[in-house]
Structure 1
Amino acid sequence: MAGDALSDLLRTVRLTGATFFDIEGHEPWAVCSPAPSSILPKILPGADHLISYHVVTAGRCFARIVGQEAIALEAGEVVVFTRSDPHIMSSNPALRADPPTADVLDIATAGRMPFYINCAGDGATSARLVCGYLACDAQPFNPLLEALPPVIKAGDVKGDGGWLGQFINLAVTEVAEKRAGSETVLTKLSELMFVDVLRRYVESLPPQHTGWLAGLRDPHLAKALALIHDRPAHNWTVEGLAKDSALSRTVLAERFTRLVGMPPMHYLAKWRMQIASELLSAGNSNMASIAAEIGYESEAAFSRAFKKMIGVPPSAWRLGIRTGSGSDEA
């Protein structure tokens, strides 16, 4: 039985949560996000993509990507900046703020989490937030990141007892009590929260929406994607995928290309290289075993395909050399 393509992707791209801030804002207040380049080396060395999130646990505030319209947030809502674009959290959308200095980041990441920040204005407390980051790999192939908008706002429907409300209650408890293991608990909670936000986003997509997440919503394409993720080394053909996904070859090829953005065999080739890049970075497998694990009969064939698609030989990738993607052939 095929697995869950979304879960498999999140595992393969090393999604992990880290570095938490407990922010208390007193009117007027504003906090600017630090640059991703100053955060990533501290929370997940080797990862190349940062996702920021802010959960409003009390009061209300505004969030905005620098240069764009502000988004109003109330207690029980979360905003996720999927590309960690420079953004400002504030009590008033007109307020400006400078990014934190490097020494503040060093103190925050070196100490026990969550790190408390008192944004002190002259007024009363207007908001409490639990903020944090998730890191993951974007290269060589992360179709999820390509499918997400820069910012997602989510919240439970009033009275439905949804997961976000439970997350907030648990996060508030962990922040307040600072028990042993609280940082680990917050890490896992943030990862679960992000998955729930993704689910809500997928459910909200209009019927005409295209992209990898739209493919997950289509039951036949979700099956095809799950098969590819579950058995990447299998000698897949469009005919075989179509049969196992209960579609004709023509319909699968057309629908997959239209929604996911590439033909099924190109997706398979890219996914194989994503798995290979993870195994190469881990450094625990030799080239021959990696080639076999993703469906290549020889180390030489794998090396040629990897260099053609990724732009560098597998050995260079293992050493940390990165470049742009090339062709999409399996």
Structure 2
Amino acid sequence: MPEGHSVHRITRQFQRNFIGHRVTVSSPQGRFATGATQLSGHSVTDARAVGKQMFLEFDHGLWLRIHLGLYGAWDFSGEVLMDATMASANGRMGQTNQHGTKVAAGAEAATFDADGENSIFSIGAPRRTRVRMSEQEKEIEPVDIFPPEPVGQVRVRLLTDTVCADLRGPTACEVLDPAQVDAVIARLGPDPELENTPAAEERFVSVVRKKPTPIGRLLMDQSVVSGIGNVYRAEILFRAGLNPHTPAKSLSDETVRALWQDWAHLLHIGVATGQMMTMDKLEGAGYRRAMRSRAHRHWVYKREGLPCRVCGSHIVLEDMAARKLYWCPRCQA
């Protein structure tokens, strides 16, 4: 399932390519035909992400709400102009790495992740291409004919004169009015990429400190904090040295504040690079290797049975809240 950083990156694509443009909205699959009729012919005026959900506003006041869920993905095709703030692994934009060290602009060679979690490198001038954005990002193929024929079960197609966005497999896809959008957002926990403020931090801390729920389960609750999924849950808990089964209300204020601050830190890096990079103090070849392969950029995620990078104990895999949980029984004792 796409985690918070992916949805923010997708939203930035809409901000760059669709805001201010009149769009033709259709439903090639047919399941969103009524909603498409409500939106088609109007201009996009806003695009925002809150955790794992995104919202597109149109000039007549209606919104399109999307939750990608487990299988959803957007394909952007045409003269796609990538958001210049979406720094890629080659350091062209001078992004900050995990160690807090700024990678020199142009100092790195372009890297491509063998697992398919590729950052997009077409920053700058638009070119004819097709880019798939979900949990992973990858450039699929050049586009010879625009708009391209729909591929697969396309729930929604948004089309401008130069760019096409096709949505497949979402958990939620609906037209809402402003009051309904406000109600949905009110049910979501704070998102530090939107509001990394003392008030947002305090909201998170106050909720967590009241709950007897295991912290490993609570971090996945989108009403408590927005955007954290399976990868970030495992990595944040390891970085904090916390046993996932610890009752949330037993944690100190200081510990809970540190969780919020680390989530804000990791989310910002994920939005900037397109990778869920959670390893610290990586420089040069080590950083490039981690950007190429997830096996080198996580502490515990998908490392079950392998020795902990810190203590050597075997990483444990178990189920929590019907999701796979990875943790070190010694470092997180």
Name which one, 1 or 2, has greater alpha-carbon Rg.
Answer: 1
Q: TM-score, normalised by structure 2?
A: 0.29
Greater helix content:
1
